[in-house]
Structure 1
Amino acid sequence: MKKAVLASAVFAALVSGSTLAATVYKADGTELKIGGRVEFRGDFNATDKGVEIDGTMKDKTRARLNIQGKTEISEGLTGFARYEDEQAAGDSELTQRYMFAGLDFDGQAISFGAQDMAAVQVSSFTDIGQFTGLQKYLDASADHTTGVVAYRGNFNDALNLQATYKANSEDDADSYGLSAVYKLPMGIKLGAAYSADDKQVSSSSNDDAYQALFGLGYSMDALYLGATYSFGDTGEADNEEFDVIEIAAQYKLTDEAKIQAIYGKTTNKPDGSADVDYDNFVELGGYYSFNANLTSYVAYKINSGDKVTSGTETTRDDEDTIRLGLKYAF
């Protein structure tokens, strides 16, 4: 019985998307589910990077569709797969998010294809808002990354270990990651991850980019608190070090309503130049669920990051952002 629980936990983590995915086929040990979302997102006053909007609203509406399946091969051995695409408003093309298949051996899973790198299980401690996700800083610590071989193992429903390797045929830029999350009985979870990219940044330089990440989470009844901190180097020729911090708090007021307060900051430290705060913000959010399928929200992002330009274009600034959203999940 315990082995079945562990295998289910690993499978759920691998194919997690919409919790409302509908089972369209289930027979003879094989199961197929379809899920997704359609989500209106409108940014007012400024983009999520704090750049003032020309006009009334920047439309960030998106839709996702995922297909996931599993099949029992023998006792203790399960095959699984997941496919997910996203389409942005005004874009006729689909963007691939996940496309992987694998085998689960009693809670020890190996998978191949476009999927999350190992650090994501730690960065998710604070990636709960509209503007979070700062810890996915390198290719080696990003989500839905192509060309990944992954091991994910769950032990006694308390310790989760992950190892990922991304093979890149271009620019000698393979990536790898290792992570561990341990859950304590009193609602505390601890996480640590190490990610690295091999970068060929110039003909005379072959520096490695790396990121060390640490996380702490705490849940008690309606309250959730999370904090993540990382440091590392981008591997660029000017030895650009960085550190990233996210702190998140969420409180569930009722079964339908919850509020959030989040702080995030990303600082790059290039040699010979002043530090640059690419991100420095406070996010305040409120969410209301009409039912299990439909959720509305408003998020206010107070930007204080440094202004960044590329040529004549401003790519980051310090204007505040207001986001309104309405999400239908299925």
Structure 2
Amino acid sequence: MNRMKIRRIALLTLVFSINNIANAAEIYNQDGNKLDLYGKIDVRNHIGKGKSGGDDSRVRVGIKGSTEISANLTGFGQFEWETMTNKTEDNHIDKNRLAYVGINHKYLGSIDYGLNYGVLYHIDGWIDVLPMFWDDGISMADNYMNGRNRNLLTYRNNNFFGYIDGLNIALQYQGKNTTNNKSGVSAAKQNNGDGYGLSVIYNTDFGLSFGGSYSNSHNVNNDMANYYANGKRAEAWSIGTKYNANNVYLASTYIETRNMTPFGSTNTNIAPKTQTFEIVAQYTFDYGLKPSLAYIQAKGKDLGEYGDNYLNKFISLGSFYYFNKNFAALLDYKINLLDKNKFTENYGISTDNVLGLGLVYYF
């Protein structure tokens, strides 16, 4: 194998895994105990009108550890934290993104509890590969089991107890987060009642994956007059497929939610129903360039006097360029397909195009 081919394989491996913890630095590994440190310094600027433009930089740091309990049992934990660096020193925003602990059995699967990803993200996360603007989608944090959230108990089993290679399942329970207990917050949209969810994913041995997920929770906000959504249950389901092989990444998802998705500039209103379609295509060249093209739309249904309206609808045209495993340049142009109307103006929904430029140092 010549030197150029070795370089190509190494670089492709980096690019396809860089969104995970591929760059984690091992800081301790002894007597069955392992601790890794990872993170990124992500500086970026959005060029757009009004609040769409400006500095959007952040720093993210995480630690991930494991300990061998016995031949078949392993304990593990992960913590991830992020701070925005685009404000003043005394006015910055900190986020605890992940904080969970669990135990894994070699054959029976794992169970963990804490601040983690909800089961809907197990599918929608396949679209979370855009250079910058994917967070305008549905899987927002602190919103039931759509993105990251707290009070999650999750059971996972890969390869279905060793009987079906590639079949991975997850069962999830979310405890109540309300103003009446310790995990509640003042923002009603970030609270939830007791709920459950599941995801099923099948990974083939040639890069193609299929999956679906479902969640159902008690809606603690159904008696609030300023919300459109007043159903007793908050519900969501998703299906998706992806292909990740031969330098190509393709993924698409379809998601429906009931009584759970916030919208508008302040996210203080909840849509009774949403329908979201997402698709992304990327190709990795052997010299580090990875162009990206995506289309995302989310439509709100039964929005009172506004009927049915798009909550977002845009094309993402962007690219990554990896100088090496620790340094990358990002470009993302969000082509907004929303038309300005009474609905977008009343709820502060942007209809402007935005250009994002950034540099990232991974460690």
Category of TM-score, reference length = shorter chain:
0.7 to 0.9
Structure 2: which amino acid aligns with 1:98?
Answer: L
Matched, 1:158 2:166: yes
1:4 is aligned to none
Q: 1:238 to 1:111 in 2, by over 3 A?
A: closer
Matched, 1:288 2:296: no
Matched, 1:196 2:216: yes
Structure 1: which amino acid aligns with 2:103?
Answer: L
Q: Shift in Å at residue 234 of structure 1?
A: 1.7
Cα contact 1:34–1:65 (8 A) shared by 2: yes
2:78 is aligned to 82
Q: 1:122 to 1:235 in 2, by over 3 A?
A: closer
Which structure features the higher share of strand residues? 1
Q: Shift in Å at residue 62 of structure 1?
A: 0.3
Out of 268, 274, 298, the position equivalent to 2:300 is: 268
Q: How does 1:24-35 map to 2 (within 5 A)?
A: 24-35=27-38
C-alpha distance in 1 between matches for 2:324 and 2:330: 13
Greater mean alpha carbon deviation, residues 195-204 or residues 236-245: 236-245
Q: 1:203 to 1:144 in 2, by over 3 A?
A: closer
- The CA RMSD over aligned residues, in Å, is 2.6
Percent sequence identity is: 26
Greater mean alpha carbon deviation, residues 286-295 or residues 310-319: 310-319
SS of aligned partner of 1:315: coil
2:95 is aligned to 95
C-alpha distance in 1 between matches for 2:45 and 2:354: 10
Q: Shift in Å at residue 278 of structure 1?
A: 0.9
Post-superposition Cα deviations, 1:259-306, rounded to whole Å, max 9, x if no partner, equal: 010000000011654211111000001111111000101110100125
Post-superposition Cα deviations, 1:112-146, rounded to whole Å, max 9, x if no partner, equal: 11001112111122221122252416823333211
TM-score by length of 2: 0.78
Structure 1: which amino acid aligns with 2:26?
Answer: T
Cα contact 2:120–2:237 (8 A) shared by 1: no
1:244 is aligned to 276
Cα contact 2:313–2:336 (8 A) shared by 1: yes
Q: 1:271 to 1:42 in 2, by over 3 A?
A: closer
Q: Shift in Å at residue 148 of structure 1?
A: 0.9
Matched, 1:322 2:355: yes
Out of 154, 176, 194, the position equivalent to 1:168 is: 176
Q: How does 1:214-253 map to 2 (within 5 A)?
A: 214-234=239-259, 240-253=272-285
Structure 2: which amino acid aligns with 1:233?
Answer: R
C-alpha distance in 2 between matches for 1:314 and 1:295: 36
Cα contact 1:259–1:286 (8 A) shared by 2: yes
SS of aligned partner of 2:122: helix
Post-superposition Cα deviations, 1:139-191, rounded to whole Å, max 9, x if no partner, equal: 23333211111111101550111112121241662232210110123321001
SS of aligned partner of 2:144: helix
Which structure features the higher share of helix residues? 2
Cα contact 1:87–1:94 (8 A) shared by 2: yes
SS of aligned partner of 1:97: strand
Out of 47, 53, 59, the position equivalent to 2:55 is: 59
C-alpha distance in 2 between matches for 1:326 and 1:203: 43
Out of 326, 330, 335, the position equivalent to 1:297 is: 330
Q: How does 1:113-132 map to 2 (within 5 A)?
A: 113-129=114-130, 130-132=132-134
SS of aligned partner of 2:133: coil
2:144 is aligned to 140
Matched, 1:209 2:234: yes
C-alpha distance in 1 between matches for 2:114 and 2:231: 27
Post-superposition Cα deviations, 1:8-31, rounded to whole Å, max 9, x if no partner, equal: xxxxxxxx8432111111110000
Q: 1:225 to 1:26 in 2, by over 3 A?
A: same
Unaligned runs of 5+ in 2: 1-18, 180-191, 262-268
Unaligned runs of 5+ in 1: 1-15, 47-51
Cα contact 1:213–1:231 (8 A) shared by 2: yes
Greater mean alpha carbon deviation, residues 63-72 or residues 128-137: 128-137
